[in-house]
Amino acid sequence: MRAPGTRTRTDEMSEQGAAVTGAESLVKSLECAGAEHVFGIPGGAILPAYDPLMDSTAIRHILVRHEQGAGHAAQGYAAATGRVGVCMATSGPGATNLVTPLADAHMDSVPMVAVTGQVGASMIGTDAFQEADIRGITMPITKHNFLVTDPADIPRTVAEAFHIASTGRPGPVLVDVAKSALQAQTTFTWPAELQLPGYRPVTKPHGKQIREAARLILESRRPVLYVGGGTIRAHAHRELRVLAELTGMPVVTTLMALGAFPDSHPQHLGMPGMHGTVAAVGALQKADLIISLGARFDDRVTGNLDSFAPHAKVVHADVDPAEIGKNRHADVPIVGDCREVISDLVVALKAEADAGRTGDYEAWVAYLAGLKQTYPLGYDAPSDGSLAPQYVIERLSAIAGPEAVYASGVGQHQMWAAHFVQYEHPRTWLNSGGLGTMGYAVPAAMGAKVGRPEATVWAIDGDGCFQMTNQELATCAINDIPIKVAIINNESLGMVRQWQTLFYNERYSNTDLHSKRIPDFVKLADAYGCVGLSCESPDDVDATIEKAMAIDDQPVVVDFRVHRDAMVWPMVAAGTSNDDIKYARDLAPQFEVEDDWEVRA
């Protein structure tokens, strides 16, 4: 297989066999692999690499304030661009600070390469200063990892790391390089071909499985396209739309797949799961066929697995065979790249249509359209005239528009951002779906803005999340990365508080952050070299957002001081059945359909 890289063959060959240090070889290897931006912090073990990195004209290194910020920035860069994100850290605590973003990238299938320095090869295993077995630590949370002690292995290892990170199911790859290897003399040889005999991702689906899936689609009466983040990772949004419009099947998109199918499309029912729409949850529960595309039936979607979609057969397509049937039995398993799977399904279904065989979903589509109309997403304005968080996000979406990129933290604001921003395009919604990492938004937005400087990038963050990684605003200000941050400040750990309201008799143990008093976010933004704004009245929301949108040469932080008791609805309580969804407190929808699909009059 061809080694990754964007440089020309002439460029590579001109450097082949050059006498270099291991550190110089590492930098040349990153250049050959196509890395243009590296987020990182130097330290003792990785220091030899930072010297030649200073001379690189192909790589822009961005000095972050914390290694976690470097990792999330690489994630945001990758998620917004589709390219491999790169971060760099030293040994010991530098490397262990990357553990959270590595685990995050692993669960969300984000292509990323993390380069870490390690103590000298002869010192490994001696409890040397700042030694940590980062390869062992990250074994379960990376797609693959390497320890390099021979400088001759550096180019091949970097080439393999980029290839593994970006092919098959994307994911993070760690390259841990001993300081002795960085300091030693070697020759630079970029591999023309990679030899990875145990690594052969299956991307082309089997024809028999495609035909069987097409047969089930035509036989079903209540099919649903259950679209996951793998569809975006596979660049399959155009093919998805063709499939949906060809068949007329309703579409639900998971939290990770927002933007894979336009929110405005009439076939789109929204997001399923714990905080999904009534129509999307109802569609999966009452379906007789679920066509899962790059989704993994995680617990936040299925609720109580035993009662999830009890009458549905499942066509499960995923490039990772380990996901198929892991949580829900697959009647038709399809291993393959989502884009190829969907393309082949389109061909098969068009052939059936040409032969006069099409699905009959008219009653099903009408029923779901009724659910969508009866139970739309909504919220009540606070009776005291204070600011509703949902209104802030709704207006932000209307003013910034669907071409902007939105990165969120984790919690209530994440769910409101999922509900009230209009997503029309893939790679415009970045978040931590699997691991649920608070503190993701600001550094991820920074990475996205670096990768897509032409785009307006908003971080929608909670006041709790923001206080975990806001130091990267300094990185943004110094490096001319003008992101915009909307803090949805309800002065508490909002989602935990919501659970305390609903399940712990309103006993708010340790969730009050007092964030409207300490810190002063406007002064904090100013101290970081950003523009700080605040807003606490609905009447001022539009003008504040427009003022932030008008600033293009500095990061902007807006402290939206919202009502603290707003809650996220709809909701399926953890561990319960999706049949028990509530669209507001103590209010359950009526799924007016029998299990054997008899629509009531």
Position 16 scores a pLDDT of 78
Residues in the chain: 601
Active site amino acids: 67, 129-130, 179, 495
Position 600 scores a pLDDT of 42
Position 304 scores a pLDDT of 94
Q: Which residues contact 108 (CB under 8 A, 6 or more apart)?
A: 75, 79, 229, 256, 432, 433, 434, 435
Burial letters 316-354, b for 16+ CB under 10 A, else e: bbbbbeebbeebbebbbbbbbbbbbbbbbbbebbeebee
Question: What one-character DSSP code corresponds to residue 268?
Answer: B
Position 1 scores a pLDDT of 72
Using CA atoms, how far apart are residues 378 and 583, in angstroms rounded to an integer? 9
Position 286 scores a pLDDT of 96
Q: Which residue has the tokens 């010297």?
A: 51
Position 9 scores a pLDDT of 46
From the CB of residue 266, how many other CB atoms can be counted at a distance below 10 Å?
11
Using CA atoms, how far apart are residues 358 and 372, in angstroms rounded to an integer? 25
Q: Which residues pair with 291 in a beta bridge?
A: 225, 315
Residue pair 458/396 in contact (Cβ under 8 Å)? The answer is: yes
Residue 54 in 3-state DSSP?
coil
Position 560 scores a pLDDT of 98
How far apart, in Å, are the Cα atoms of 231 and each of 166, 446, 510? 14, 24, 39
Position 352 scores a pLDDT of 97
DSSP string, 140-201: GGSSEEEEE-SGGGHHHHHHHHHHHHHSSS--EEEEEEEHHHHHSEEEE---SB---TT---
Residues of the chain with pLDDT under 50: 6, 9-10, 13, 595, 598-601
Position 596 scores a pLDDT of 52
Question: What one-character DSSP code corresponds to residue 3?
Answer: P
What does pTM read for this prediction? 0.96
Cis peptide before 519 (omega within 30 of 0): yes
Closest CA to 566 of 463, 497, 467: 497
Using CA atoms, how far apart are residues 443 and 460, in angstroms rounded to an integer? 12
Position 575 scores a pLDDT of 87
Position 14 scores a pLDDT of 56
Residue pair 104/162 in contact (Cβ under 8 Å)? The answer is: no
Q: Which residue has the tokens 């609903």?
A: 502
Position 10 scores a pLDDT of 46
- What is the dihedral angle through the alpha carbons of 197, 201, 204, 205, rounded to the nearest 10 degrees? 120
Using CA atoms, how far apart are residues 507 and 262, in angstroms rounded to an integer? 40
Position 5 scores a pLDDT of 62
Position 601 scores a pLDDT of 30
